Amino acid sequence: MDLLDAMRTTPATRAFTDDDIPDEVVYEILDAARFAPNGGNRQAWKVVIVRDPAVKEEIARLYDLGAREYSAHAQAGLVPFSAGEAHWRTEPAVDLEAARQTPTTMSSRHIATAPVLVVILLDLDRCSAVDSGLDRLSISAGASVYPFAHNILLAARSRGFGGHFTSVLARQEHALRTLLNIPENVALATMLPLGKPEKELSKLKRAPVEEFTTVGTYDGPAFTK
């Protein structure tokens, strides 16, 4: 598949067929993805491949708890876990305990039934967060792992498979740490359920360049061709 075609047609896939992904294909996907740029070329990522049905069921349960918290924010008209507030907020914006008792329309079944879960971790002792101390949420460490994670989706797309980034699973990182024996200095970056998409998409909806790009300054004129 042409690179630009892959970039334009790699969606967040959450519905899979019953087709498996052979281990050799998963290996090939990771083998291609590992060339992603990362801070200092330290390659501080760690990948855990999960196929055990019982473990996938438990991860799906943990995902569902995070999804319930996320949905409670949205139902209250809030940006769920707003990054702009993360640095200073000490109390949750909604009742998280109540949220975890409330079912959500965000299904977690595809997590349990996907052929393989790719859990992507980041060794915090081996990567840099150069935006530390700026009195806001530190995000730069993600640059050392998310290009790798997206490469996995692109490589999977080129082979007819798909998946999506998960973020709500981070709400249960402590439980996931116990489940997968993750050391304390290693954080969950994302988890990718991978499988054969039930439906192939050929066109994605995204804002045009003029809507998110300006010239010279943040409030400068729109960048156009």
**DSSP characters for the chain?**
--HHHHHHS------B-S----HHHHHHHHHHHTT---GGG---EEEEEE--HHHHHHHHHHHHHHHHHHHHHHHTT--TT-HHHHTT--S-SS-HHHHHTS--SS--HHHHHSSEEEEEEEETTSS--TTTTSSS---GGGGGTHHHHHHHHHHHHHTT-EE----GGGGGHHHHHHHHT--TTEEEEEEEEEE-BSS--S------HHHH-BSSSTTSPBP--
> What integer pLDDT is reported at residue 149 of this predicted model?
98
Amino acid, res. 192: L
**Percent over 70 (pLDDT), the chain:** 100
Select the more confidently predicted residue: 47 or 107.
47
Q: Is the per-residue pLDDT at 173 higher than 80? A: yes
> What integer pLDDT is reported at residue 4 of this predicted model?
87
Is the CB of residue 154 less than 8 Å from the CB of residue 7? yes
> What integer pLDDT is reported at residue 188 of this predicted model?
98
Q: What is the pTM of this model?
A: 0.93
> What integer pLDDT is reported at residue 203 of this predicted model?
79
What is the rounded distance in angstroms from the CA atom of residue 34 to the CA atom of residue 45? 9
Instruction: For residue 158, name the pLDDT band (cuts at 50, 70, 90).
Output: very high
Instruction: For residue 6, name the pLDDT band (cuts at 50, 70, 90).
Output: confident
Query: What is the rounded average pLDDT of the residues 166-171?
Result: 96
Alpha carbon of residue 202 to chain centroid: 22
Instruction: For residue 29, name the pLDDT band (cuts at 50, 70, 90).
Output: very high
For 87-132, what is each residue's pLDDT tens digit?
Answer: 999 999 999 999 999 999 989 999 999 999 999 999 999 999 999 9
What region, left, alpha or beta, does residue 40 occupy, with left being phi > 0 and alpha being psi -120 to 50 degrees? left
> What integer pLDDT is reported at residue 146 of this predicted model?
98
Domains of the chain: which residue ranges? 3-212
> What integer pLDDT is reported at residue 148 of this predicted model?
98
CATH number for the region 3-212 comes to: 3.40.109.10
For 54-74, what is each residue's pLDDT tens digit?
Answer: 999 999 999 999 999 999 999
What is the rounded distance in angstroms from the CA atom of residue 130 to the CA atom of residue 204? 33
Q: Is the per-residue pLDDT at 157 higher than 90? A: yes
Among 4-18, 88-102, 129-143, whose mean pLDDT is lowest?
A: 4-18
Query: What is the rounded average pLDDT of the residues 6-24?
Result: 93
